[in-house]
Structure 1
Amino acid sequence: MVRHHVEIFLEPGKGRGLRASRSGKGLEPGTLIISERPYCYALLNGEEENHCHYCLAEERQDEKLLVCPGCTTARYCNKQCQKKAELDHKCECRGYRQLMLMPYHLRLIGRIIYRQHVRKVETGPLDPLNDLCSHMEDLAGSFGMDSQLGHLARIVDKDVIPNWAYFQRLFGKVTSNCFAISNSELKDIAVGVYPQAAMLNHSCRSNSIATFRGPNMEVRTFAHVGPGEEVFHAYVQKGVTTDRRRDDLMEKYFFFCQCSDCLDHERDLRMRTAKCPNCGGPVLPNPESRSIYEKCSRCEHDEFDEEFHEKIDTAVEYADNVVTKERRWCNGLEYELQFRQNCLLEIDKVLHEDNVNTIRILVGAFHAAAGLGEWRQAIDWGLRLERGLRQKRSIPSLTVDAHPR
C-alpha cells in the first residue's frame, strides 16, 4: 500500500484524517493519492460462484473457474491465482463452505480471524487494523452484534476464535470501515478492509473517489485540493436527500453530518423538485414542511391535492426500488435498460428533471445504453444528465450509486 502527496493529521475533537501535503501547489483533479491492496476481502452474497476468489475476475464462458477440491467452494481463474491464495485459504478451507453462506460482513470477519491465525505477526501491536475505530461505545450491549458473533463462532474452527473483547472490536472495525469493491461496470461484487483508505474522513461534498482493479483500490482526487486542505471521501450515496444521508451515516457510522452540502437547504429543496400538473414547470417543497409543495414558479399554480402528493411518494419509491433493490433473477444491461426506461416513463409524469430521483435513474440508463452501443439514446440521456448535474453542482460522482464503506 502506498500513499502519494498526502499526510496524516490529528485534530482535537475531529480525530485523524488525510490532507494534501502543506508544501507544493496542492493536488490537481485526477491525482492518485492512495493505491492499496485490501488487508482482507470477501465476495458479496450471490457473487461467489462466478468470480475468482483471489483476483475477483468474472468467469468467462470459454474458461470455467477452477474449484478448490478441499472446500469445493473457493473458485480461481487458474493455477496462478489458486497458488497466490494458498497461504490464506489453506487455514480457512475446512470452514470456507459454511463461511460463504453467511452475510458478507461476517464472512469478511471470519476470513480475517483465519488470516491472523496463520500470520501471528499481524496480531497485537503489529495488527494493521489497530488504528481503525471500532465504535465500541456505540455498539456496547448490542444484542445484534453478540448474536451475530455467536453464530460466526459456531461456524469457524474453534482454535482460531480470538478472545471475545477482540472479537467485538473486530466486528465494529469491519462494519464501520469496510469498502464495497466494484467491477468495471460499477457493480458491487465484494467488500474489503483498506487501512490506509479508512483514514479518509467523510463529506457529502467529497473531493476524492475510489476505483478498483480487481481487489486493488486506487483513490484519486476529482477536484483541486489546496496545500494542507483535507481530502474527503463520501461514505454513503451522495445522490440522495440530506435527511436520508444523515440517517445512513448515523446508523452505520454514528455521527450527524454537518458538511456544507448537508447545511445547504436550498440544494436539498431542489433535489425534491416536482413537476407542476398544470404546466410541467418546477415546484419546490415548502422549506418548513418538505412534504408540502408550494406554488409553481412558472405559472403560479398552487392547488396541490392529496392525490398529487401520493403520486410523488409513489414515484420516489418506484425510483428508489429500481436503483437499490437487487434483481437476482435478471442479468445483463438489456434488463437494466428496460427497468430504467420503464421507470422514467412513470416518474417523468410527476417528478421534474431536476429531481434527484430522476437523475439517479438517468445515470443507470445512460450507462446501460452506452454499454449496449445505443448511442443515440445514450446521448439524449447524457444531455438530460448534464443539465441536472449542473443544477446540483456538487454531485460530480453521482455515477457511483451505492458504496457501503
Structure 2
Amino acid sequence: MRSEAAPQPGGLERFASPGKGRGLRALRRYAVGELLFSCPAYTAVLTVSERGGHCDGCFARKEGLSKCGRCKQAFYCNVECQKEDWPMHKLECSAMCAFGQNWNPSETVRLTARILAKQKIHPERTQSEKLLAVKEFESHLDKLDNEKRELIQNDIAALHHFYSKHMEYPDNAALVVLFAQVNCNGFTIEDEELSHLGSAIFPDVALMNHSCCPNVIVTYKGTLAEVRAVKEIEPGEEVFTSYIDLLYPTEDRNDRLRDSYFFTCDCRECTMKEKDKEKLKIRKLNDPPSAEAVRDMIKYARNVIEEFRRAKHYKSPSELLEICELSLDKMGAVFEDSNVYMLHMMYQAMGVCLYVQDWEGALRYGQKIIRPYSKHYPSYSLNVASMWLKLGRLYMALENRPAGDKALKKWTSTVTHLH
C-alpha cells in the first residue's frame, strides 16, 4: 500500500450542477488512483451483529477487544477509542442494559439518534462538513409516497421508544425531514470483502452526484472515507461517484435510483445501454426462447431476488440455499451463466455456503462468478477485487496454495491501484 501526502486544498469546489442541484468539480487535473479528498465520518454506527469482532470506536477488526463496563455490548480496542466514542455510545448504553435482548432499533434509527446528539454537542461545522453541511442535505420530502412516510413514522416511534430518556427531540415534522435526509445521504461502510460493517454520514462525500460511468470510487479505512480517481479528471470536470451496484442492466439501475434517490440517470451508459445485451445474455438454443419468454424470465428473476432478500430474515441456511438452487435451475433454461440475474443468485448461494463453512460449495460458486464479474464491472471495481480475495482465502483454506496465491495477487493489484 503506497503512502502519499494528503490532497492539497483548493483542488475541488462545490458548484451549482445543472439539473442536479449541487455538485463537486475539479479545479486541477487528477490522475488515475490519485486521492481527491478524505472525509471523516460525521457520525457512524457499527452493525450490531458485528459487535465483538470490530471496535465500535474505529471499526477496525481486532482480537481481544474490551467490553463496555456497563452494557457489555460495545467493544473497544483501546481506552482512547472508548473515550472518543462515549458521547455517542452513552445514548445507547443504558438502553442496552434496560432492554437487553429486546434492544433492537434499526441502523437508521441509531444513526439518526447520533446525528441529533452530534448536532447538540457540535452545533458548528465539523471537519467532515468542509463543503456541505448535514443541515443542507436534500430530503426529497415532496417525493415521498405514503409507504415511505409510514416507514419514517415507524422509525420515529422507535427513536422515542429506545432513546426517550437520553434525547432532546425536535418536533415530528423536523424528525421526518431528518430521517428522509439520512435515507438519501447515508453511506454503508464495508470491509475489504464488501461485507456490511455499519452505516455513516459523510457530508462532503454526499455532495458528489451519481453516474453509472463514475470517475471516482469511495473506499473506507474504518470510519474514514477516501475518494480516488478511477479515470483521469481534467480541470472543470464534475466529479461523479456511483450510488448503486453497477452490475445490473439499465432498467434495474434506474428503478433503484428512482426508488431510493428520486431521479433517473442520464449518463452515457444509461443513454446508450451498450452493456445491457451482454448482462442479459440468453442461452444459444436450437429453438431460441421467444421475446415474451425472456421478458417473463426477467420478471421471475426480479421477483426471486426480492423473495430471497425477505427470506434472509426468517429462513434457515438450507432453505435459502434451496431457493438459490431452484431459481438457478429455472433461469438456466433461458439465461447464460454470465447473465447478471444468474450471477446474483450464485453470489447469494456463495454467501450461504460461506456462512455454514461449506468452503467447497462456496468455491464452486465463486469460480463461476469471477470471470463474468470481470467482464461486467469496470476494471477498477472493488466487487471484482473482493471476489478475488474471497477466492484466494477459499483456495488457501482448501490447501490449494498455487491457486490461492494467484487469486490474492489479482486482489492485491486492484487494491494497490486504489490505495
- TM-score interval, smaller chain: 0.7 to 0.9
Measure the CA separation in 2 of the matches of 1:76 and 1:103: 21
**Aligned equivalent of 1:215:** 223
What is the Cα deviation at residue 131 of structure 1? 1.5
Q: Is the 8 A contact 2:33 2:230 kept in 1?
A: yes
Q: Partners of 2:156 and 2:374 in 1: how far apart?
A: 44
Q: Which of residues 144, 147, 151 in structure 2 aligns to 1:139?
A: 144
Note the 1:8-27 alignment, pairs <5 A: 8-21=14-27, 24=28, 26-27=29-30
CA distance in 2, matches of 1:242, 1:147: 32
SS of the counterpart of 1:115? helix
Which whole-Å CA distance do the structure 2 matches of 1:130 and 1:344 have between them? 46
Name the amino acid aligned to 1:174.
V
Tell me what 1:300 maps to. Answer: none
Q: Could you tell me which residue of structure 2 aligns to residue 94 of structure 1?
A: 94
1:241 CA displacement: 1.3
Is the aligned partner of 1:320 residue 2:344?
yes
1:250 aligns with one of 253, 258, 270: 258
The equivalent of 1:272 in structure 2 is 280
- Aligned ranges 1:180-199 → 2 under 5 Å: 180-199=188-207
Aligned to 1:148: 155
Q: Give 1:3-402 correspondences, 5 Å limit.
A: 5-21=11-27, 24=28, 26-60=29-63, 63=64, 65-96=65-96, 101-121=104-124, 128-139=133-144, 141=146, 142-158=149-165, 159-277=167-285, 311-312=333-334, 317=341, 319-324=343-348, 327=351, 330-331=354-355, 335=358, 338-342=361-365, 356=376, 365-371=387-393, 372-373=395-396, 374=400, 376-377=402-403
Change (3 A) 1:12 1:222: closer
**Per-residue Cα deviation, 1:296-315 (whole angstroms, up to 9, x for no partner):** xxxxxxxxxxx996624696
Amino acid at match of 1:265: K
SS of the counterpart of 2:53?
Answer: coil
CA shift in 2, pair 1:317/1:184, >3 Å: closer
Residues 200 and 258 (structure 1), Cα distance of their counterparts in 2 relative to 1, 3 Å cut = same
Secondary structure, aligned partner of 2:13: strand
1:164-222 Cα offsets, whole Å, 9 max, x none, are 12211110111111111122333221111000000000001101011111111110111
For residue 202 of structure 1, what is the amino acid of its counterpart?
H
Aligned residues: 360
What residue ranges of structure 2 are gaps of 5+ in the alignment? 1-5, 299-328
8 Å Cα contact 2:385-2:410 kept in structure 1 = no
Structure 1: give runs of 5+ residues left out of the alignment: 294-306, 386-395, 401-405
SS at the partner of 1:36?
A: strand
Contact 1:269 1:284 in 2 (8 A): no
Deviation at 1:145, TM superposition (A): 1.3
Question: Does the 8 Å contact 1:271/1:356 carry over to 2?
Answer: yes
CA shift in 2, pair 1:310/1:337, >3 Å:
closer
Go from structure 1 to structure 2 and tell me whether the alpha carbon gap of 1:362 and 1:135 turns closer, same or farther (over 3 Å shift). Answer: closer
The one-letter amino acid of 1:20's match is: A
Q: Name the CA shift for 1:198/1:230 in 2 (closer, same or farther; >3 Å).
A: same
* 1:243 shift after superposition: 1.5
Give the structure 1 partner of residue 316 of structure 2: none
SS of 1:54's partner is coil
Matches of 1:288 and 1:384, distance apart in 2: 39
Deviations 1:339-358 (A, max 9, x none): 2414656x89xx9899749x
Instruction: Tell me the distance in 1 between the aligned counterparts of 2:289 and 2:201.
Output: 41
**Which residue does the alignment assign to 2:313?**
none
What secondary structure does 2:217 align onto?
Answer: strand
Q: Tell me by how many angstroms 1:329 deviates.
A: 8.3
Give the direction of change, closer, same or farther, for the CA distance of 1:117–1:140 in structure 2 (3 Å limit): farther
Residues 201 and 155 of structure 1, relative CA distance in 2, 3 Å threshold: same
* In structure 2, C-alpha distance between the alignment counterparts of 1:219 and 1:235, rounded to whole Å: 13
The Cα RMSD (Å) is 4.3
Residue 151 (structure 1) shift:
2.0
SS in 2 for 1:196: helix
Distance change (3 Å), C-alpha of 1:331 and 1:189 = same
The one-letter amino acid of 1:138's match is K
**For residues 116 and 329 of structure 1, do their structure 2 counterparts lie closer, same or farther at Cα, with a shift above 3 Å needed?**
farther
CA distance in 1, matches of 2:374, 2:292: 17
Cα distance in 2 for partners of 1:201, 1:314 equals 34
- What SS does structure 1 have at the residue aligned with 2:45? strand
Contact 2:186-2:200 at 8 Å conserved across structures:
yes
- Separation (CA, whole Å) in 2 of partners of 1:96 and 1:111: 15
TM-score, normalised by the number of residues in structure 1: 0.74
Question: Among the aligned pairs, what percent are the same residue?
Answer: 26
Q: Distance in 2 between matches of 1:44 and 1:222?
A: 29
